[in-house]
Structure 1
Amino acid sequence: MSLTALISLMVAVPLVVYILVLRWRADARYDAVTALLPSAHVVEGIACDPTTAGFFGIGGANASTQAKRGFAVAFDEEGAGFYEGGRHVVEFLRLEWAEVESIDLATVTVNSNRQATALELTVAHDDESTKLPIVIKSTQGVTGFRFSSPFETNEHFKAIRSLRGASPAAPRPVVGLEAPAGEEKTARRRLAPGMSSVGMSRFAGIAVLFGLIAFLAMLPFGILTWTHFWAAPGMFFLPFLLIGLVAIAVGRIVGVFIPMRESAELRAGYTLSREGDINVDQLDPKTGYVIRVAGHQTLSREQEKSEILRARARESSRRRISTSFARWAVAICVILAIGLGSAYIVGTALWWNTTTTAVCTLVDYHYRDSPGGVVYDVDTDNCGPLQVTSGPILTPDQATKLGDSLRAGEKYKLVLRGWSEWPNSPRAIVAASDLMATKTGLNP
């Protein structure tokens, strides 16, 4: 396998992992709003100048700024809610149907020169009317980056118009919170001090994932070392191996304490697990809101997700909750892996492209076995420690020929690569001329 192919793998594999783990923000926002309002008709809007101008006219600078970051719209029988965010969404504007004079289809200009069909809401406010065009992101095609076709937009138009024409419905019940009369459905409890069982579980998962990423980063160096292509990566192989083993061991050790923490939470009168004791309240692990009242049936995965999103939407009205710690941890690990690999590649390339010449007298030299290839350690009287090693310049056969040609006590004019610092030390001899006899070795 060539060095170029190995470098490509080091960059491509972490990028693929990053793309698979970190979902597109718009997709996450759409899913969050859909889970929060399962009976609503949800569309993902595209920020463009006509749209942001409409938001500015209706909701001021704050609404316009929020819309520029991307937004989702949830239409229901009461009106339309506009949400921004990712996995955790916040409603930044609400329009009741009484405020909407009409809903039509219109053509707007997007990105200066592209035309798109949009839903156009005519909103009455402050004794005037403002048009708010909504260009809908397509739900078809790869990742949905293109605009909805006129046909798709017309289908959305029909669905939204039917919702507007429907009679007002009773407030939707909160799934899983069929509490007795008079009981507060938005009850909030104080979580026991210390890391929660959910937090410990996530920490253990992240530690194991970090260990696997370390193993992934170790592979290119291991291949370079054990195929005798390059001696230097051997110094990185074992550290990555040890980091991976330690991270996985830490994750497993933390996992041992998770049942103990769950027992402590039960003694405090609650559980954070969907499959926990049904005789105690189930709480959202971040906000402490009750998402299942004690004595009620276990929530399904969809119900749990919906209730957690509801709880965090309540919390977001007071304080914006940060993006998932696990996603950030994965992103940081991937970026570190790419950064360390890139730094090593750049440093090694600069090292091997730094050429100097020196006149040195060899004091001693000896061959030693190395899993990375041929290595001769050379001691000199005035040039410091040097090496003859196979790598990008010399093949193993060429390095062996050059190393065998050297003689202790002789004075040589040496062509050297690198410097006596990271990432490769000591400097490498790539050619040698015996000043007392004939030229030996290879030409640089």
Structure 2
Amino acid sequence: MSETIDSASLLDRAGELIDRAIKAGAEAADAVVVRGRSSSVSVRLGKVEGTESSESDDFSLRVFVGRRVASVSANPGFDLQQLAERAVAMAKASPEDPYASLADPERLAKSWPDLELYDPTEVGADSLAEAALAMEAAALGVPGVMNSSGAGASAGMGGLVLVTSHGFSGSYSASRFGRSVSVIAGEGTKMERDYDFDSRLYFADLRDPAEIGRAAGERVVKRLNPRQAPTAKNVTVVFDPRMARGIAGHIAGAINGASVARKTSFLRDKMGKQVLKTGLSVTDDPLVVRGSSSRPFDGEGITGERLVMIEDGVLNHWFLSTSTANELGLSTNGRGVRGGTSVSPASTNLALEPGGISPEELIRSVGTGFYVTELIGQGVNMVTGEYSRGATGFWIENGELAYPVSEVTIASNLVDMFMRITPASDIDRKFGVAAPTLAIEGMTLAGR
């Protein structure tokens, strides 16, 4: 996948757009190009069902006139002068925003590390199809697998070009390769579905297609003939790493400065207080070499640093962009992300740090409980922390996975759940949100 984007040309065009905005009456401005290239192939039952490819360079211009701000977007080929004049006219007609501004010039990155985010490997449609077909064939070859929901492989790249009126100019690109397969076991009303996947920045780091396929097939066969567990309180629920990443994601959402400013986070009053069980930490690091969510600078031109967001259970930081930090009376920590014409804070390579025991030891220590492999529904209220999700997985008896379970609901409150987490040691840091197997005590299970 060769990089066909001329970053120098885009930087020049963004710089010219800034100049025209200033001449049109803007006091400050930044211009962004969000870049994307992707190709994918999907197959089902041994036949290619579809191939897709896309390319985009989406420009956006943000201008400031006093405390008034406006943003406009355009595709390549737009008229620079018209866009600049339109943005300034919109800003002059906009209400004042006391918090919006460019980042402090003293905080702007002057240089940044090479994080090795781009792999130029060319992967054609034939190679993508070959991988997808191999995954599906391997999955269908597992005894008990009856049908396929399809398999797919993809290759792409994305990146950011940013120029500001107060001296920042930079760009970076990141590649992404992916493989996934979903299959069905059983028949009639007793069918079960499961999947496996992999996603990496470097093509050579991807798991073998046959390995992914076999894993998907073995997962779904284990789910056959599930039972419904009895309703019970004070159940210890063990989240496998896939589901545990969702718990880590809830932590990230609750400590996002934008949610705190809007008063939509149940942790909004917890800065400096204990929010996780003693001994637990959550880190966020944008500068991991070949990290899934790494970036040499954020959407405002600031290079972030590794932060221990929660240390020994105590909340240390919010995720902050400049405007959110201004609203909270703080300073940005380089977590600004461009989304369309806006900038909002978000995590980078976030990890709920692991414990010292293996997942097998953790399950043995539970004795009796519920091991979750899939969650259903969106029953999480980030304002109150109320948590209620449909779930499937396996019943734990005598410290071992005993039989598959489906059609149950697990419920609690994230405030309580966070204080009862016990992590295993099996973290996989290739994901932008990473977590090991987690055991959470004291949950309610609604079953038969």
**Which interval holds the TM-score relative to the shorter structure?**
under 0.3
TM-score computed with the length of structure 2 as normaliser: 0.18
TM-score computed with the length of structure 1 as normaliser: 0.18
| Higher Rg of the two aligned structures | 1
Give the helix-richer structure, 1 or 2.
1
- RCO comparison, higher one (Cα < 8 Å, 6+): 2
